[in-house]
Amino acid sequence: MVLADRWTEAEIPSLAGKVMVVTGANSGIGYEAARMLAEKQATVVLAVRDTAKGQQAKARILECFPQADVDVMLLDLARLASVRDFSQAFAEKYRSLDVLINNAGVMAPTYRTTGDGFELQFGTNHLGHFALTGCLLPFLLRTSGARVVTVSSLAHRSGHIHFDNLDGKRGYRRWAFYAQSKLANLLFAYELQRRLSRLGADVKSVACHPGFASTSLMNNGIFASANPLVRLLTNGINSLFAQSSYMGALPTVYAATNPSLSGGEFIGPRGGMRGYPGIVSSVARSHDLALAAHLWEVSEQLTGVHFADLQ
């Protein structure tokens, strides 16, 4: 018997016949999660911004598991048109969706905006996934036991939603805006579960975080333009203190597959920043009903995506 605090991929049940979408699945936590799900016989869609890198990720999975069923599809969460195009392309290939894993994200870049004029982190990490979930909701609702897994971060603890400055034009602090986007992920995940429960839908919304995991996210964010000495120092800190992408992906896979979950949980390393996954807590602000409802309304207005079944 596996100890309760040692949940690993060995605990994942057979996923044969299930369709799962993982955003940002070409590297890091997304790749590790996709690999584990594919090994358990799920049909895994790698929803990626760079399809060449997606194909490379698919090839790596097939090297390990030649019988894996892996699909690569284009998705740029920083462009709402791409979200809609992906949803249409998905509808042409699939009739159901068992698990949607909202994993892709950007961390603390210099100030930039998406193609739709949103601040990049809020637009990608939250609004892109909000829109994607809304567009794919019909597939989730028609699939028995479906789940939406939204990846947040410990950074949510310092996050606040600044509705008067969501675009960052009144001032931008990269880490504060990252924390805002990660708090938004949690507010969305919890509010989605409340709305699904009111509808009586057989769909669960679960949030998770990877702890302090060594991935490419930092290199693509605040350290992308850092000098070599800073990058060397960062790599050293990662090697000493961060857990692997594999360990960082376990909370995501736990959230996606553990049959004991009822929806509305937050999954992360039991040790806080490191360790095996289990149910953890989030700050009180993430459970603010009025804040979540207002964020939902604003998100619908900004994206033009309305969850008609969940109103």
Bridge partner list, 266: 207
Is 178 one of the catalytic residues? Answer: yes
DSSP-derived secondary structure letter, 43: E
Q: Report the C-alpha gap between 278 and 6 in whole angstroms.
A: 9
Q: Report the C-alpha gap between 199 and 256 in whole angstroms.
A: 21
DSSP-derived secondary structure letter, 15: -
CA distances in angstroms from 228 to 109, 148, 185, 232, listed in the order given: 17, 39, 32, 6
Question: Do the Cβ atoms of 89 and 114 come closer than 8 Å?
Answer: no
Phi-psi map region of 263: left, alpha, beta (phi>0 left; psi -120 to 50 alpha): left
User: Which is the catalytic residue, given 178, 190, 254, 276?
Assistant: 178
Tell me which residue of 88, 199, 181 sits closest to 136, measured CA to CA: 88
* DSSP H or E run through 71: strand 69-74
Question: What is the largest distance, in Å, between two alpha-carbon atoms of the chain?
Answer: 55
Angle at Cα 308 formed by Cα 307 and Cα 311, nearest 5°? 85
Half-sphere exposure of 236 (CA within 13 A, CB side): 6
Instruction: Specify the pairing of strand 43-48 against strand 19-23.
Output: parallel
Q: Which residues are part of the catalytic machinery?
A: 178
